[in-house]
Each structure stands twice: as C-alpha cells, then as structure tokens.
C-alpha cells in the first residue's frame, strides 16, 4: 500500500475512545504492579540495610533494634504485603538515610532530569530535523558524504565517553566551562551536548530515510507533474511526512532519557533522578529506590502514550486506520 | 553497481579488524611486553612512548597498552556472552509468543514496556549482590537478562508473518513436530535480521559493560577494564589525557567496526 498524500497537517479530531483508554490504564497498572513486586524482592536480596544504618562497629543488639524499628525482622511475605498495601496509597515510607519521605525525595530530583531531557530534546530536534531533511534530498555530494561519515563515527561514541572527552577538552584543558554541577546555564551545556551527541545520529538517520522515501513516493511525483515548485514540494509534501514518521523515535528517545541518564548524571553530578538512583541503590536506601523506579515507570508510560496520541492526532492516515478498524 | 564494487574493500577491512581482535583475545597483554598488573612507582603517569611504554603509564605506573589489551579481552568476552544469553532467551520467547495465542502477544507488549521502564542499573546491582561479588558471570547474566526483549520484539514481529507463509503451513500439515518446524522452516527466515541484530547488540553490550564498570559495579575492583580505566582517569585529565583517550578511542574503534559490520550485513541481505 502506498501512503496517501498528506498535503497539510490538519489535525483530525480524534474521538475519545474509552475502551482503549481503559486498556492503557490496565497495562499501566500491570506494569507498575510487576515492576514494584520484582523490585521489592530484588532489593531484599541485595544486602541488609540494618547493618548499613547501624554503621560500622555497631553491636548485634543495635542492629537487631534497627531491624525491628523498620520492620525488617518480619517474614518477607508479610513485609511485601505491608509494602503493597502502602503503595496503593502512594506511601513509599521514609528514606533510610535522612528520614524524609521517599516519594518527596524522588519528586524533588525529578525536575532536574526532566529539565535535562527537555533541553536535550530541543537541541536534538534543532540539529536532527534540518540535517535529516537536507541529507535525504540527495544521495551524492561531498558535503553529504562527509556528514554521513561523521554521523557513522558519532554513533560509535557512547554518551558517557563523549561526556568525559568534552569535560577533558572544554572544562579541563580550555577551562571554558565548569566541569560538573548544576548551576547557571554554563553548567547545562556539556550535559545537554553529551546526551544529544548519542541521540542525534539515530534521529538524523530516520528523518533522512523518511525524507528519501517521501521524495520518491507517488504523491510527490504527482505534485511535481502538476508543476509545484521544489520548495513547496519539500515543505508541504515531504517535510510533514518525514517528521511525522520520526515521532515514535523521538518518544522512545525521550522515554530513554527518563531512565537512561544514570551515567551522564553521575559524571556531571547532575542532581536528577538517575543520580539519586545510583546513590540510593549503593547505600541500600530501599524506599527511595522504590519511589524513583515508580516515577520512572510512570514517566516512560506517559511518554509512550503521549507519543502514540500525538502521532494519531497529527497523522490522518493513522486516524483513518483507527476509524476503520 | 558502485556499492558492489565497494563491498570487498570493506569486507577485507572488517576481516582484518576481526583478526586483530582475535589475536588480542589470544595473546592479551603479552603483545605489549608488559604485565597489566605490574606496577612501576618510579614511572607514574609517563606520557606515551616513554620508557618502553607505547601508550604511557597510569597513576600506579602500570602500562596503559597492557591494560587496554586486557580490557579488550574482558569487554569482548562479556559482550559476546551477554549477547548470547539475550539472543537465546529473546529468540525463544519471541518464537513461543508468535506461535501461541494472542494473549501471549499482549504479555509480549507488557514485558517490553516493563523491561523498558525497569532501570538496568538496579537489576545489575541486585544480581551482583545475589551472586556474592562483582565478576564475569554476574555482569553477563545481568546484561543478558535486561536486554533480551530487544530480540524477542523483532523475532515476534517477523515470526508471526513467517508462520503464515505457505511453506510453513505445508510443513505443519505434514504433522512436523513444533521444534523441528521452528528449526527447519522458521529460524532460517529469521537469520537475516537476527544476524544484524546480534552485531548491533554486541556493540551495545560493550558500551553497557563499560558503563557499569565505570560506575564501579561491573568488573571486580582493580581489574583492567575500559570502564574502570575511564573512571580512574578522571583524576588525571589535565596531567595525563592519554589515560582517558586510550580506552575511549579503543571503545569507539570496536563499536564503529561492529556497526560497520552490521550495516554491511544489512545491505548484503537486501
């Protein structure tokens, strides 16, 4: 089946579908339940937080007292049911490190991650969309070959390696930017660029492929035959299709950023949710780990649902298919 | 036509890279003329090409090249094993789900969301803790168990259409056992995309292992791995940039080679 021409992005009014919304909620409930259950039992195997809490040189009696205080002395199944019951009321307990509510601690660090993710998303779109559109318009040319080669090499750089190299160059050798921390705009540049550097190549590739596919499609041929100028074809016929096809990937990349910036945040001491996850896991702070993971799962789910909805709203073809099916 | 002409040159290049990799895997740090554990406190942070150290020495006077070669051994071994585990679990699960009722398809989708949202770091720490200490098996198991949905997703999608093909239906009607049907008639159809996936996954596993080692939860303490080398190099960025550059560029080189191989396979299959 060849795609129908999409001449302009008129948003189709999507009717609210209660069945699919309910299905989405059911999926979310299942995933949250499964994640939190697996997490509970995995964390209980990691180590004994009572020993960590008691500190070095604590007597067995002290450890025992702490165990009783936090309920770690109950059978694990009882602990699990108490935990599951509290989860239903979003009660994650308090951080073992400082006694603040775990959910609050996770929520406080979430904006930093969201902030980084949105900055990276913005810069990524600004770089990838024009580059992909430009690359997809022709196969040959020295400049295009050079850029493609560069993208191939860039794909070989893991994000945290880029981060280290950029710190090495811009912060340590040239002293242009601060190495780590979360302060003014100067501290935002390196983390954002590190994230973009490994997200952009993929997005550029997809936009390029979509552009090429759109340019060789029947509707563009028809538009050409009817005498439409090249730039009208590019902006009215090719670009919307190429960009629509990239929404799924942009959504996936954003979801990835909510859980996958652990190393980057650690390198830059960025006080986000990934950094908190590392800190709390290593210090066996179970309640905080659980709250962080809960937020991450919610974030990923919301992002995927949003991306799907966005695509269905913007792309009349998908709207049609839904309506027919 | 031009692509046909270019293929052999790339093949030779990739074969050469694989050969180099194999030689390093076999001989390890012996190729550098130094033991990777040998410390020389009189020759700390020596720049490259001094005192018989091709890539210089680190903060304890250990030969960087020797550690780099040992690290490659570790990286390739862990990445290969993790890829294998993910491949076996993912393919099996994808095939079973594609064969079974639609309910399994729903489970597939949920599992995908589940594993996407479950932070691999938490799983890594946990598995390592359960197995007693950080080491080869814990890291390999962890990476394999976290990443198999990559395979099951692709296998599920492709196998579903394969099961509808006439030759498979015909074989099924002759009463062929399910296992034989998989192996003889479905798996061969999956090989093109699986081979590409394996290569790309291998590259991803190299990165993942290094990231874990970088955070200090992968390789055992003091082991010569690229992630650990990168982590240790952070204190000497200004005085000894080669400590960062050597493992970083080695990692990039092996990933670029793997990506090129994957791309090459993909083009060859078309």
Catalogue the long-range contacts made by A103-111 (C-beta closer than 8 Å, 24 or more residues apart): A103/A291, A103/A294, A105/A276, A105/A288, A105/A291, A106/A273, A106/A276, A106/A288, A106/A291, A106/A292, A106/A294, A106/A295, A107/A291, A107/A295, A109/A271, A109/A272, A109/A273, A109/A275, A109/A276, A109/A292, A110/A272, A110/A273, A110/A295, A110/A299
* DSSP alpha helix (H) spans, A71-137: 76-88, 102-136
Q: Decide: helix, strand or coil at residue B136.
A: helix
Q: How confident is the model at residue B197 (pLDDT cuts 50, 70, 90)?
A: very high
Task: Measure in Å the smallest separation between the Cα of A9 and chain B Cα atoms.
Answer: 30
Residue length, chain A? 325
Q: What is the CA radius of gyration of chain B?
A: 22
Q: What is the pLDDT of residues A258-304, one digit of tens each?
A: 887 888 888 888 889 988 988 888 788 888 988 998 998 888 888 88
Tokens of A57: 């040189």
Residue B77 CB neighbours (<10 A): 14
Report yes or no on B29 lying in a domain: no
Which residues lie closer than 8 Å to B197 by C-beta, 6 or more apart?
B150, B151, B154
Report yes or no on B47 lying in a domain: no
Q: What is the pLDDT of residue A9?
A: 41
Task: Measure in Å the smallest separation between the Cα of A297 and chain B Cα atoms.
Answer: 5
Cross-strand bridge partners of residue A101: A94
Report yes or no on B30 lying in a domain: no
Question: Of all residues in chain A, what percent carry a pLDDT higher than 70?
Answer: 90
Q: What is the CATH number of the domain that holds B200?
A: 1.10.3720.10
Question: What residues of A are in contact with residue B250 (Cβ under 8 Å)?
Answer: none
ipTM for the complex shown: 0.79
Tokens of B25: 């895997």
Q: How confident is the model at residue B116 (pLDDT cuts 50, 70, 90)?
A: low
**CA-based nearest residue in chain B for residue A151:** B256
Q: Which of A263, A300, A301 sits opposite B211 (nearest CB)?
A: A263
Report yes or no on B181 lying in a domain: yes
> CB distance B110–A34 less than 8 Å?
yes
The Cα B257–Cα B11 span in angstroms is 11
Using the 8-state DSSP alphabet, how is residue B53 labeled? B
- Into how many domains does chain B fold? 1
Q: Decide: helix, strand or coil at residue B56.
A: coil
Question: What residues of B are in contact with residue A43 (Cβ under 8 Å)?
Answer: 122, 126
Torsion of the alpha carbons at B75, B81, B86 and B87, rounded to the nearest 10: 120
CA distances (Å), origin B161, targets B71, B153, B206: 42, 13, 32
Helix axes B187-215, B120-130, angle to 10 degrees: 80
* Stated pTM of the model: 0.82
Report yes or no on B24 lying in a domain: no
The Cα B259–Cα B201 span in angstroms is 10
Report yes or no on B85 lying in a domain: yes
Task: Measure in Å the smallest separation between the Cα of B130 and chain A Cα atoms.
Answer: 6
Q: Decide: helix, strand or coil at residue B28.
A: helix
Torsion of the alpha carbons at B204, B210, B213 and B218, rounded to the nearest 10: 30
Q: What is the CA radius of gyration of chain A?
A: 25
**CA-based nearest residue in chain B for residue A157:** B252
- Best B116, B245, B267 member to test A by mutation, with max A CBs in 10 Å, is B116
The Cα B82–Cα A18 span in angstroms is 42
Q: How confident is the model at residue B178 (pLDDT cuts 50, 70, 90)?
A: confident
Closest CA to A285 of A53, A55, A45: A53
Tokens of B36: 């990777």
Domain residues for the domain of B136 are 63-269
Residue length, chain B? 270
A/B interface, count of CB pairs below 8 Å: 113
Q: How confident is the model at residue A7 (pLDDT cuts 50, 70, 90)?
A: very low
* pLDDT surpassing 80 at residue B170: yes
Q: What is the pLDDT of residue B80?
A: 95
Q: Decide: helix, strand or coil at residue B130.
A: helix
The Cα B83–Cα B87 span in angstroms is 6
**Mean pLDDT on A170-190:** 77
Report yes or no on B134 lying in a domain: yes
Q: What is the pLDDT of residues A233-269, one digit of tens each?
A: 888 888 888 888 788 888 888 888 888 788 888 888 8
Q: What is the pLDDT of residue A4?
A: 43
**CA-based nearest residue in chain B for residue A159:** B207
Report yes or no on B136 lying in a domain: yes
Torsion of the alpha carbons at A49, A54, A60 and A63, rounded to the nearest 10: -50
Question: Of all residues in chain A, what percent carry a pLDDT higher than 90?
Answer: 13
> CB distance A160–B109 less than 8 Å?
no
> CB distance A277–B244 less than 8 Å?
no
DSSP annotation string for A143-187: HHHHHHHHHHHHHTS-HHHHHHHHIIIIIIIS--S-SS-S-STHH
> CB distance A156–B118 less than 8 Å?
no
Task: Measure in Å the smallest separation between the Cα of B110 and chain A Cα atoms.
Answer: 7
* pLDDT surpassing 90 at residue B75: yes
């Amino acid at each position: 089946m060849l795609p129908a021409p999409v001449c302009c992005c008129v948003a189709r009014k999507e009717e609210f579908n209660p069945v699919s919304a309910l299905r989405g909620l059911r999926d979310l409930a299942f995933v949250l339940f499964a994640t939190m259950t697996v997490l509970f039992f995995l964390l209980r195997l990691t180590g004994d937080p009572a020993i960590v809490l008691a500190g070095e040189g604590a007597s067995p009696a002290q450890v025992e007292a702490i165990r009783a205080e936090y309920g770690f002395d109950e059978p694990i199944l009882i602990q699990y049911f108490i935990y599951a019951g509290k989860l239903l009321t979003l009660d994650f307990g308090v951080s073992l490190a400082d006694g603040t509510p775990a959910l609050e601690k996770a929520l406080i660090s979430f904006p930093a991650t969201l902030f980084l993710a949105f900055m990276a998303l913005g810069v990524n779109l600004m770089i990838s969309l024009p580059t992909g559109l430009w690359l997809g318009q022709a196969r040959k040319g020295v400049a295009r070959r050079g850029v493609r080669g560069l993208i191939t090499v860039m794909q070989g750089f893991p994000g945290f390696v880029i981060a280290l190299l950029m710190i090495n160059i811009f912060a340590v050798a040239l002293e242009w930017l601060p190495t780590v921390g979360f302060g003014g705009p100067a501290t935002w540049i390196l983390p954002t660029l590190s994230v973009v550097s490994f997200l952009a190549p993929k997005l550029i590739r997809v936009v390029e492929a979509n552009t090429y596919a759109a340019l060789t499609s029947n509707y563009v041929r028809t538009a050409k035959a009817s005498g439409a100028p090249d730039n009208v074809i590019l902006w009215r016929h090719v670009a919307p299709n190429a960009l629509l096809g990239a929404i799924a990937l942009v959504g996936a990349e954003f979801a990835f950023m909510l859980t996958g910036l652990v190393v980057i945040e650690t390198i830059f001491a960025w006080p986000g949710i990934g950094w908190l996850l590392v800190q709390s896991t290593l210090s066996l702070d179970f309640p905080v780990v659980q709250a962080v993971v809960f937020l991450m799962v919610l974030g990923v789910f919301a992002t995927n649902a949003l991306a799907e909805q966005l695509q269905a709203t913007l792309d009349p073809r998908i709207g049609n298919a839904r309506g027919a099916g | 036509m031009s692509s046909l002409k270019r293929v052999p040159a790339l093949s030779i290049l990739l074969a050469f890279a694989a050969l180099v990799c194999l030689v390093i895997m076999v001989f390890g740090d012996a190729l550098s003329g130094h033991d990777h554990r040998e410390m020389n406190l009189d020759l700390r942070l020596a720049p490259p090409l001094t005192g018989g150290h091709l890539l210089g020495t680190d903060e304890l006077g250990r030969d960087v090249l020797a550690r780099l070669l040992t690290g490659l051994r570790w990286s390739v071994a862990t990445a290969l094993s993790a890829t294998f585990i993910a491949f076996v679990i993912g393919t099996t699960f994808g095939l079973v789900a594609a064969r079974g009722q639609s309910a399994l398809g729903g489970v597939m989708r949920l599992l995908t969301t589940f594993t996407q949202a479950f932070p691999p770091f938490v799983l890594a720490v946990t598995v390592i803790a359960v197995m007693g200490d950080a080491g080869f098996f814990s890291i390999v198991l962890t990476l394999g168990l976290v990443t198999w949905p990559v395979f099951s997703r692709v296998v599920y999608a492709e196998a579903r259409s394969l099961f509808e093909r006439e030759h498979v239906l015909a074989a099924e009607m002759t009463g062929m056992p399910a296992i034989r049907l998989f192996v003889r008639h479905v798996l061969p159809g999956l090989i093109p995309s699986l081979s590409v996936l394996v290569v790309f996954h291998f590259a991803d596993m190299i990165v993942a292992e290094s990231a874990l080692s970088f955070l200090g939860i992968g390789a055992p303490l003091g082991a010569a791995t690229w992630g650990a080398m990168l982590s240790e190099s952070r204190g000497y960025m200004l005085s000894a940039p080669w400590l960062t550059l050597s493992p970083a560029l080695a990692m990039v080189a092996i990933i670029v080679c793997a990506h090129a191989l994957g791309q090459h396979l993909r083009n060859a299959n078309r």
